[in-house]
């Protein structure tokens, strides 16, 4: 990272105010004690990825809300690129490791992790730091580079996607926890919860050739993740999904958690200075009944780890 890029990251650390306009709690604060209705979305700021996840998952009802004893859990991060954690192309490894550990603590019998990397899988798994973080927390890394691990399944109601080859772990796991990194994307405008699911599909080029936004919107008709944890600690604001230099990055120190991938991505679009309706797959996914873009009518809890 060059000197200019380093100071760009430091100066951006106050950018969490971009979500201050979200409805819900009036200020960024720790949740009050006592019982309360569970929120539809939790937005957390001003902590490490691990600290923010711990605060966010507690506010969302705890990992046991999603993971039951004896279940097989798939944790699906973004490990598409042969990049280090500070380059903002892959999900933060500390966050992935903590999600794996939380799933085990909730009673999972096995926690699997994989992603259909764009660049060489071995290099992506290692250089991102995710493979080590997963193994340090007793998770199991799986390859996603063998076609034999994919099954062709129908997409109910799909127009662009009539059927799709999907990794067996996405189809067979009892619980799917989607852990994308937030960043810009040339074709899709934005990578977050919905677009991250391309990493469990064999033929992604078909999506690009036949209508990327419609395909992104339709894929969750096969199956929606049970939980989405969006890493917005270091955010690639431009030149995604791989990035060109540290000039593309902002240190936001934020995280968004929700069972609703459309709602999570709607909030994330604002963090990229985008109008959610301009990310075409969001209104398409909402129209398919896969989630809501209506932040004003959903319960949102905002938490500052810093207090």
The pLDDT value given to residue 167: 98
Please give the structure tokens belonging to residue 126: 């290692």
The tens digit of pLDDT for each residue in 240-253 reads 888 888 999 999 99
b vs e for 62-96, b when ≥16 Cβ sit within 10 Å of the residue's Cβ?
ebeebbeeebbbbbbbbbbbbbebbbbbbbbbbbb
pLDDT under 50: residue ranges of the chain: 1-4, 6-18, 23-27, 31-35
Quick one: pLDDT at residue 172?
98
User: What is the model's pLDDT at position 307?
Assistant: 67
Please enumerate, as own/partner, the contacts of 3-9 that have beta carbons within 8 Å and a separation of 24 or more. 4/246, 4/247, 5/245, 5/246, 5/247, 5/249, 6/246, 8/246, 8/247, 8/249, 8/250, 9/234, 9/246, 9/249, 9/250, 9/251
Give the number of other Cβ atoms within 10 Å of residue 47's Cβ: 20
Adjacent-strand bridge partners of 175: 73
Q: What is the pLDDT of residues 132-168, one digit of tens each?
A: 999 999 999 999 999 999 999 999 999 999 999 999 9
Q: Is 27 exposed, middle or buried (0-12, 13-18, 19+ CB in 10 A)?
A: exposed
Q: What pTM did the predictor assign?
A: 0.91
> What is residue 188's predicted lDDT score, i.e. its pLDDT?
86
pLDDT computed for residue 73 by the predictor: 98
Residue 10, pLDDT score: 45
Which residue ranges make up each domain of the chain?
Answer: 3-22+40-304
130 Cβ contact partners less than 8 Å away, ≥ 6 residues apart: 77, 79, 90, 91, 93, 96, 113
Question: What token pair was written down for 103?
Answer: 């799933």
CATH of domain 3-22+40-304: 3.40.50.11440
Tokens 């959610």 belong to residue: 276
């Amino acid at each position: 990272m060059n000197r200019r890029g380093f100071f760009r990251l430091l100066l951006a650390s106050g950018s969490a105010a971009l979500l201050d306009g979200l409805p819900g709690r009036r200020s960024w604060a720790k949740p009050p004690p006592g019982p309360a209705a569970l929120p539809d979305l939790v937005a957390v700021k001003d902590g490490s990825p691990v600290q923010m996840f711990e605060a966010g998952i507690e506010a969302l009802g705890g990992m046991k809300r999603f993971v039951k004893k004896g279940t097989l859990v798939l944790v699906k991060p973004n490990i598409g690129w042969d990049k280090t954690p500070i380059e903002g192309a892959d999900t933060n490894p500390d966050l992935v490791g903590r999600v794996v550990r939380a799933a085990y603590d909730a009673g999972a019998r096995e926690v699997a992790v994989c992603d259909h990397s764009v660049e060489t899988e071995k290099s992506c798994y290692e250089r991102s730091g995710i493979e080590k973080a997963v193994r340090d927390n007793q998770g199991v890394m799986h390859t996603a580079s063998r076609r034999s691990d994919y099954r062709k399944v129908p997409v109910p109601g799909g127009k662009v996607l009539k059927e799709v080859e999907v990794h067996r772990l996405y189809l067979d796991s009892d619980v799917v926890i989607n852990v994308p990194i937030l960043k810009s994307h040339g074709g899709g405008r934005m990578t977050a919860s919905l677009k991250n699911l391309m990493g469990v599909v064999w033929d992604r080029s078909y999506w690009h050739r036949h209508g990327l936004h419609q395909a992104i919107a339709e894929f969750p008709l096969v199956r929606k993740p049970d939980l989405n944890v969006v890493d917005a600690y270091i955010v690639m604001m431009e030149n995604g999904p791989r990035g060109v230099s540290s000039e593309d990055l902002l240190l936001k120190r934020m995280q968004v958690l929700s069972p609703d991938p459309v709602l999570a991505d709607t909030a994330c679009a604002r963090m990229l200075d985008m109008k959610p309706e301009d990310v075409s797959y969001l209104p398409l996914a909402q129209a398919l009944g896969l989630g809501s873009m209506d932040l004003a009518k959903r319960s949102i809890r905002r938490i500052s780890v810093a207090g």
